[in-house]
Chain A
């Protein structure tokens, strides 16, 4: 298309060298999700307004985690802003590794950040990271296929309805799977889904003495239900499907239902990418009549590592990128459906945003998620699809690998749960909990 861009690269280098010398430059590590990529495109406006240059280090999620964690724990000081999630923020904040975001300017209006998000990104009441976008999870379903199956999706369905609908919508001849869910190994992929789902079945990761709970009936119920439903009505090979794989399956019209991040709503309703854009309905993530739904809560947020010399410039950038002005800037250029969602209360009060079809359901999902009270029985940890303790990412990745082996038909549910129990207790012992 524009060959000029490709060829003009050399002059861009020269320009970069010229400007870098004059002003302050901050380095930001971020994840390669669509909203962040879009933000990079608008960075020029920030530089024009403040004179602060921005250098981006954009990495795929797993590499990013590895990179920023190494840097923060060793105080490497390579980044002035790090993009981290709801899992890392309270842990790092508690260790004193992040600059508290307590004296933000009045225009920024910290109070406007959705309480659920602010709560998840704080430690002891101090905010340590500003949400760039936030999400819960919900059901996205094909209205046409639901109708064809002769069913009607309630606003707040139960797991038994979802399983029934999934079986009814499945049409193997036409390559339509009743339901697409994450089975991919990794604590943030399949691990996050099954953990959130287990909450609604009354399961939990740990009892109050930090003993692993995989030997309980609740976990066995969760996993059996999931495996049965997926083998009846899920796509072949779901053991390696994560967010991205399911997104493209749904966009290609191969899924009847998909329970996943609320941010996916803007992708599946975007007619440029999705073949089913005008046939998507939304509902709350299912429950099991036990008072807890299976939706999670997550935010990608910007935090300033303690020790950076450029904390002020970094704070300026955070105020800019997570502000209402930024949301309006994106809305003006790309439409309201494409603004970063789930961070601010005022967005959901904005009459323009109310017209976006998934706005209300996103808000309802976020509001119904409570990280401090995520399980039916009491648990010692904070977090819904994770437990906010440093050991969790490692343990949950290993556990979810055992689960994925079940999904791939390589071991039984009982074996996987027994291994999960051993892995978890072993790691908790190593960390000194037990």
Chain B
């Protein structure tokens, strides 16, 4: 269908975007690779020479490395699970006839507009603070011992905050998908006397698989690199240090750019493993 002429035109039109992104990927990547083989300590005079794979070995052998990978996966997995499960339920609910649907949608969409720093500050101080937080009043009101959110439940707290931010996004995409579902098909099944659960399982969920895939993909991309939420809340304490936070600690707190850069390379590798994993499982879903 496409002529030679339009192929050439297409190449030309893709060129700016591809070139820019290639530059944006390659320049930092090459510099990161370069630093990762160096002993580079800004506070000790900067470049102290080549050290081979020392930084790579040191980064992985640190006791903080594997826990940070685990924490990253727990946060990403936890947020995905919560946002997708609640997103599906909320989308189904919002698809039902009701009064004031527009306003409810506005209420639910709102957290997506709040900057991560602000939402972390608000949650940490005004809700999860053990002394003045609203949640501790709530717990006390029901006669329970208030939870020390940031210390006793650091990972769950971060997962709650991040899920709150991303739930609107998941809900919206899933809602649009549900709305495109053929209502006659649903009604037919209703006539057949299929139970609500069966309908959900055999009609709605398969229909949503594509949308769930999209949510999974986009959120993973953003969640792998969350930083502000941890910086503001726990500062990486109580087992909440993710891989990107560990890199931050190496580069900025310890001022060891070489070591941090090696960590950056690991993070890129991890991201690509996750990406390939996602493509394999999920990519098919996008193709059909």
Contacts and interface: CB of A to CB of B under 8 A. Distances in A.
The answer to A–B direct touch (Cβ < 8 A) is yes
Given A66-B252, A398-B64, A249 B148 contact: no
A268 interface: no
A44 B250 CA distance: 40
Given A185-B237, A249-B131, A408-B148, A62 B231 contact: yes
Nearest to A390: B43
A373 interface: no
A237 B250 contact: no
B130 A237 contact: yes
Interface in B105-136: 130-132
B151 A408 contact: yes
Contacts of B234: 185
Interface string B28-55: 0000000000010111111000000000
A393 interface: yes
Interface stretch (B8-16, B164-172, B254-262): B254-262
B63 A408 contact: no
Contacts of B130: 236-237, 240
Contact of B235 (A185, A236, A249, A422): A185
Given A237-B130, A430-B58, A430-B256, A398 B42 contact: no
A236 B147 CA distance: 10
Nearest to A409: B152
A239 B152 CA distance: 9
Nearest to B132: A248
Contact of A73 (B42, B131, B150): B42
B152 A427 contact: no
B62 interface: yes
Contacts of A394: 249-250, 253-256
Nearest to A393: B253
Contacts of B254: 391, 393-395, 427
Interface in A224-255: 235-237, 239-240, 245, 248-249, 254
A434 to B, nearest CB: 13
Contact of A405 (B39, B131, B150, B237): B237
Contacts of A395: 254
A239 B42 contact: no
Contacts of B58: 426, 430
Given A185-B235, A390-B41, A401-B236, A408 B152 contact: yes
A408 B238 contact: yes
Interface string B228-253: 00010011111101000000011011
Q: How large is the interface on B (under 10, 10 to 19, 20 to 34, 35 or more residues)?
A: 35 or more
A410 interface: yes
Contact of B249 (A237, A397, A431): A397
Contacts of A105: none
Contacts of A62: 231, 235
A19 interface: no
Interface SS of A by simple majority? helix
A390 B234 CA distance: 23
Nearest to A88: B43
Nearest to A410: B238
Nearest to A183: B151
Nearest to A423: B63
A70 B44 contact: no
B247 to A, nearest CB: 12
A419 B63 contact: yes
A281 interface: no
Contacts of B252: 66, 69-70
A95 interface: yes
Interface string B51-89: 000000010001110000000000000000000000000
Contacts of B231: 62
A66 B46 CA distance: 17
Interface string A383-427: 000000011011101100100110111100000000100110011
A83 B239 CA distance: 31
A131 interface: no
Nearest to A396: B253
A404 B239 CA distance: 11
23 contacts: A62-B231, A69-B43, A73-B43, A185-B236, A185-B237, A236-B130, A237-B131, A237-B148, A240-B151, A248-B132, A254-B131, A390-B44, A394-B249, A397-B253, A401-B241, A405-B238, A405-B239, A408-B148, A408-B152, A410-B151, A423-B64, A430-B58, A430-B259
Given A240-B130, A240-B148, A401-B241, 6 more contacts: A239-B151, A393-B255, A394-B249, A395-B254, A401-B238, A410-B238
Interface of B: 39, 41-46, 58, 62-64, 130-132, 146, 148, 150-152, 231, 234-239, 241, 249-250, 252-256, 259
